[in-house]
Amino acid sequence: MSMDTKGVIEVRELAEIAPSPKVVILDCRYDLADPEAGARDYAKGHIPGAHYASLHRDLSGPKARYGGRHPMPSAEYFQRFARALGIERDSLVVLYDDHRLAFAARAWFLFHYFGHNRIAILNGGLNAWRNADLPLQHTVPARPDDGDFTAIPRQEILLDHGRIFSALDNPPWQLIDARDPRRFAGIEEPIDPIAGHIPTAINKPWQGVTRKDGSLKSRSELRKHWQDIPADDQLVNYCGSGVTACVNYFSLYLIGRTDALLYPGSWSDWCAHMLYPQTEQSE
C-alpha cells in the first residue's frame, strides 16, 4: 500500500506484508454487552502479530456527565497508547474486528482524527482471514520499542452538542443517525435514558454499508447508498455513543465525501444535555 493511505486492505495483501516491522495490526473485537469478550476472543486466537485494542480502555476517554458513553480519548492518552504499540509516523496500521467494521472503524477514525495517514481496515475482518485458511496466533506478541507516533488532533472534523443545538433552526449540515430504525424512531431504546433522535436527522443504519459477511460494499454500491443525499450537503454522523457512526463516516471517506463530520458524544451526550441542561457559556 502507498505511504499515504486510509482505505481498505484485503486478506491476501495483509498476509504478504504482515511480517514487516512497518506494519502494526490491531485486533479491535468488542461486545458492548460484555466488555471483556473481545479480549477473551483475542486470547483464543488472533491474526499473527496483532495487538489487542479495547474500546473502553484504549479507544475511549474517561466518562463524565457530558461527552457520551464512549468519549474521545485525549491526544496525550492516545499518543501514549499508540507509541506503546511501536507505531511510528510511517507505520501502516491495520485494523480488524468481527462485527461488520463497528469497532475497527472507531479505531480508524481515531487514527484519522489524530493525524495518522497510513491506516487501513481489513476487508471482511477476522472472518475473511479464517475463510482464507490463514493461521491464527494464540500468544501475545512481545512488547515493541516505543514508536514516535505524534497525535495532532483535527478538531475541525468534530462537532459538539453546543454547535448542533445552536443551529437546529437552520442547520448548515445534514445530521445522519447510524442507529437501528426502531431506536431512531423512538419505538425502543435499550441503552440510553431517552428514546428518539436529534431533530432534523435522517436515519442511515451503519450496517447498510457492509454485507452480512462483514465485507465492505463496493465503491459503486456505497455511492448508490448515499446518492439520496446531495453531494454538496455536509454530513454530520452520530449514533448512540460515537462508535458505529464511524462506519458511516469511513464509507463516506472512501467515496470521496471527505468533508463529513462526527458528533462523537452522539445520542448519549444529547440525552445528558436534555437531562442536565447547562448554559452555552458553561459549555
**All cell numbers assigned to 44:** 483464543
Helix (H/G/I), strand (E/B), else coil: 92: strand
**Domains of the chain: residue spans and CATH:** 8-154 (3.40.250.10), 156-275 (3.40.250.10)
Long-range residue pairs from 168-172, CB within 8 A, at least 24 positions apart, any chain: 168/199, 168/200, 171/200, 172/234
pLDDT value at 217 more than 70: yes
- Over residues 244-282, the pLDDT tens digits come to 999 999 999 999 999 999 999 999 999 999 999 975 433
Distance between CA atoms of residues 163 and 218, nearest Å: 34
**pLDDT on residue 279:** 57
- Over residues 140-174, the pLDDT tens digits come to 999 999 999 999 999 999 999 999 999 999 999 99
**What is the largest distance, in Å, between two alpha-carbon atoms of the chain?**
57
**pLDDT on residue 218:** 97
pLDDT value at 187 more than 70: yes
**pLDDT on residue 4:** 47
Distance between CA atoms of residues 199 and 170, nearest Å: 11
pLDDT value at 3 more than 80: no
**All cell numbers assigned to 29:** 473485537
**pLDDT on residue 5:** 64
b or e along 17-53 (b: 16 or more beta carbons within 10 Å of the residue's beta carbon)? ebeeeebbbbbbbbebeeeeebeebbeeebbbebbbb
Q: Assign 8 a pLDDT band (cuts: 50, 70, 90).
A: very high
Q: Which of 28, 239, 246, 271 is catalytic?
A: 239
Helices vs strands, H then E, count in the chain:
10, 9
Measure the CA dihedral 155/204/11/3, to 10°: -30
- Over residues 28-85, the pLDDT tens digits come to 999 999 999 999 999 999 999 999 999 999 999 999 999 999 999 999 999 999 999 9
- Identify the CA nearest to 121 among candidates 140, 99, 141, 97: 97
- Average pLDDT score over residue span 108-117: 98
**pLDDT on residue 278:** 72
Residue 196: other Cβ atoms inside 10 A: 18
pLDDT value at 99 more than 70: yes
- Average pLDDT score over residue span 201-226: 98
Q: How far is CA 96 from CA 65, 89, 129, 182, 242, in A?
A: 31, 20, 10, 28, 18
Return the residue matching grid coordinates 481515531. 110
Distance between CA atoms of residues 83 and 168, nearest Å: 40
Return the residue matching grid coordinates 436515519. 203
**pLDDT on residue 197:** 98
Concerning whether 271 is annotated as a catalytic residue, the answer is no
pLDDT value at 2 more than 60: no
Given CA atoms 203, 209, 210, 212 in this order, what sign does their dihedral have?
Answer: positive
Given CA atoms 15, 20, 22, 26 in this order, what sign does their dihedral have?
Answer: positive
**All cell numbers assigned to 169:** 433552526
**pLDDT on residue 6:** 76
